[in-house]
Structure formats: structure tokens, C-alpha cells
């Protein structure tokens, strides 16, 4: 892997980009606007909380503090993945299998139903493929070309570390035909313009549901934001995804990106209990700035309870350096939060990049590849 660019250059670049993005304003009209929906606005969408919303000066303060304090610190230990067991992922099975590819990208195999969350396989999360943004700390746990055929891709929101153009274009061209793309309102317009106008796109509002191969997909509320260009802040919706399968019986919640809020409790009451919740545990420092849009591990543990999830696994860490914590800090903070809540490792666990786990007798067992 190439060495990162010098810290002063990265910091100045980030400050300039942040200034331009924060000064840009949204001027379009929301074609989905429904005055009966409190999260709708005439120009886009909004969160339902009345809490702190970072502004331009807050962004500049954070960037300056990050630069002056030389953050984030280096990891205590390297975040090391394992080779994905590609032949196993292609085997026909009635089991429920989960593979962490990295960041918020999960391959969830529910019997013969293959679902992929927020596919991000590129080297950078950036508007420009060869510079800027955030560069991967390690490659995807399973290469995009090694995936089994995907039935459904769910997208939580349009940020570059969650919606990657090269990845979704490759998936749209997969052998056997493109998957269904389930997206929040407005994101389907981007797909039509940038990927293909002929895709099966299911654009949903919060609490709306669509069904693919007898699996129900519901867009759930989240506390976050959206922006893809300089002028489209919050023009498209964001959220998580509840995935309800009947054969085999399995209820899964992909949390996307979110700050901690009471919407998790509402989701648990309406759609829970969940057999598993994949929840973000990274990108949380400094708290004064990040609490609006990203949970810390303590809040993630709390949200597990709110969602009535039997187990949870942590995503959104160890793949990109997004904020001020070290890449390996989230699992340590999660372990502390778990202990304080009286939970065991099986209740809220982390995985290595490329690792597969199988649900057996209510427990997520690590898959050990057989010698081939």
C-alpha cells in the first residue's frame, strides 16, 4: 500500500473542502415533499431531533484541533483481516451466514438469498478516485469479483464511504443480471443518472417496505445527513434497513450511519425483536462534534437494547481513518461499554475483515475454512 500523503497537505486539503461544502447551500425543490411527514422539508429532509447541528465554524474548529494535536494517533496494534473463504460463500446452503467485507459492507446470506450492505470496494472514499477523501487501511475482506451473485443491495445514504460508484456499477454488471437496489428517497435518481436507468430501483421513505424473493425490506429512520456534491446537502434521505426473512426465519437490522436517538426504540417496538443488528461503532471522536451523526460504542450498546436485538456486531471501523480515534480504538471502547452493561462478547461482537460467521443454535460461530 502506498504511504499516505503528508499530514499538513491532508489537513489543508480537508479544511478547504470542508469550507466549500459548508458554504454551499441547497436550492432545489424536494419532489417527494409531504407536509404530513415531519422529516420532510421543501428542499429535502431533516432529522427529527432538535439537538446540535455542526456548522462551518464547528467544522473549522475540529479540523484545526485535529491538525494541531496530531490526531488520530497510530493504532496500538494493526487491524489485520483474514482471507475470505470464497468457495464457501458460493456453496448452496440453508444456513444463515454473515461475512464482514469492511467498513459498512456486509454480505448477509440467508439461505439462498444474498444481500449486500453499502458496497464499498474502492481504494478511496472520495469524489475523485485517485486523490483526496479517505484511503483504505487494508483491502476488502472479499474482492468484489469473488462475491456470489447478489440478489439485493441496500444503501443507507449517499456519502462516499457508503455509496461507491465503481462498486455499484460492477454489481449492476454482475453475471446473471443486476441485483435489486433498495435505496432511500432521492438516491434512485443518482443511480439512474450514473449507473443505469433500467435497474430495478426500490426508493423508500422511512417505514416503507418492499419485498424481494419473499424477504421484506423496510427503510428505518436514522439520525444522520446526506451530501454527494457541493450543492445537495440533505436533498436525499438516509436510514437503516430492517430485513425480515421467513424461510429460514431471520430478522436483521442494518443500522447504516446514525447518531444515538430515540428512533432506535421506535424501530425496536415496530419491527423487533431482531436476531442481529449490525451497528456502527466507529467515527465518534471528538464527541462534541461527532455525537450528532455517529454513535460511540457506549451508545451503540444502548441502541442494541433499544432495538431489542438478541446480538449485535460492530461495523464502520478499522477500514478508513475518518475521525480522531485510532483505527483499533472502537473494539477496545466497545469491550469496556459491554462490560459496564453486563454483556458478554457474544452479545455484541466485532469481526475481522474477511471473516465469516454462521448462526448456529442462536450463536454466531466463526467459520474455519477447511483445507482445500
The domains of the chain, with CATH numbers, are: 7-68 (no CATH), 86-366 (3.60.15.10)
pTM (two decimals): 0.91
Contact between residue 239 and residue 275 where contact means Cβ atoms under 8 Å apart: no
At 122, list the grid cell.
Answer: 474502492
* Rama region for 336: left / alpha / beta (φ>0; ψ in -120 to 50; rest): alpha
What is the pLDDT, as a whole number, of residue 3? 39
The yes-or-no verdict on residue 9 having pLDDT over 60 is: no
Residues in the chain: 372
Calculate the average pLDDT of the chain: 91
What is the pLDDT, as a whole number, of residue 33? 97
Distance CA 73, CA 88 (A): 37
What is the pLDDT, as a whole number, of residue 56? 82
Cα first-last separation, the chain:
29
pLDDT tens per residue, range 216-256: 999 999 999 999 998 899 999 999 999 999 989 999 999 99
Ranges 23-37, 95-109, 332-346, 358-372: which has the least confidence: 23-37
- Give the DSSP H or E segment for 231: none
**Can you give the C-alpha Rg of the chain in angstroms?**
19
φ/ψ of 57, rounded to 5, equals: -65, -35
- The three-class DSSP label of residue 306 is helix
pLDDT mean over 46-75: 89
What is the pLDDT, as a whole number, of residue 131? 65
CA-CA distances (angstroms) from residue 250 to 43, 96, 309, 310? 37, 8, 12, 11
Instruction: Assign 51 a pLDDT band (cuts: 50, 70, 90).
Output: confident
Nearest partner of 3 among 137, 146, 104, judged by Cα: 137
Amino acid at each position: 500500500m502506498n504511504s499516505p500523503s503528508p499530514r499538513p497537505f491532508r489537513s489543508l486539503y480537508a479544511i478547504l473542502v470542508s469550507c466549500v461544502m459548508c458554504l454551499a447551500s441547497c436550492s432545489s425543490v424536494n419532489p417527494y415533499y409531504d407536509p404530513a411527514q415531519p422529516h420532510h422539508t421543501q428542499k429535502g429532509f431533516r432529522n427529527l431531533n432538535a439537538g446540535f447541528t455542526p456548522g462551518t465554524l464547528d467544522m473549522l474548529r475540529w479540523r484545526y484541533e485535529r491538525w494541531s494535536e496530531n490526531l488520530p494517533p497510530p493504532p496500538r496494534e494493526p487491524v489485520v483481516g483474514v482471507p475470505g473463504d470464497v468457495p464457501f460463500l458460493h456453496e448452496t446452503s440453508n444456513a444463515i451466514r454473515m461475512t464482514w467485507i469492511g467498513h459498512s459492507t456486509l454480505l448477509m446470506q440467508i439461505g439462498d438469498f444474498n444481500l449486500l450492505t453499502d458496497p464499498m470496494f474502492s481504494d478511496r472514499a472520495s469524489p475523485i478516485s485517485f486523490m483526496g477523501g479517505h484511503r483504505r487501511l487494508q483491502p476488502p475482506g472479499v474482492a468484489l469479483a469473488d462475491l456470489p451473485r447478489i440478489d439485493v443491495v441496500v444503501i443507507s445514504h449517499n456519502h462516499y464511504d457508503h455509496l461507491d460508484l465503481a462498486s455499484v456499477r460492477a454489481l449492476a454488471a454482475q453475471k446473471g443480471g443486476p441485483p435489486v437496489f433498495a435505496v432511500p428517497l432521492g438516491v434512485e435518481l443518482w443511480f439512474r443518472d450514473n449507473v443505469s436507468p433500467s435497474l430495478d430501483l426500490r426508493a423508500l421513505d422511512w417505514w416503507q417496505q418492499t419485498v424481494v424473493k419473499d424477504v421484506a425490506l423496510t427503510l428505518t429512520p436514522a439520525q444522520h445527513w446526506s451530501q454527494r456534491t457541493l450543492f445537495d446537502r440533505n436533498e436525499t434521505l438516509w436510514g437503516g434497513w430492517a430485513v425480515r426473512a421467513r424461510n429460514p426465519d431471520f430478522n436483521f437490522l442494518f443500522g447504516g450511519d446514525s447518531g444515538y436517538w430515540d428512533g432506535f426504540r421506535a424501530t425496536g417496538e415496530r419491527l423487533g425483536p431482531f436476531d442481529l443488528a449490525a451497528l456502527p461503532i466507529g467515527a465518534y471522536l471528538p464527541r462534541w462534534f461527532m455525537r450528532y451523526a455517529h454513535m460511540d460504542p457506549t451508545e451503540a450498546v444502548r441502541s442494541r437494547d433499544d432495538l431489542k436485538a438478541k446480538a449485535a456486531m460492530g461495523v464502520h471501523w478499522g477500514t478508513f481513518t475518518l475521525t480522531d480515534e485510532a483505527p483499533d480504538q472502537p473494539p477496545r471502547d466497545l469491550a469496556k461499554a459491554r462490560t459496564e452493561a453486563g454483556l458478554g462478547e457474544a452479545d455484541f461482537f466485532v469481526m475481522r475483515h474477511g471473516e465469516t460467521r454462521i448462526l448456529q443454535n442462536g450463536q454466531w460461530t466463526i467459520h474455519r475454512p477447511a483445507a482445500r
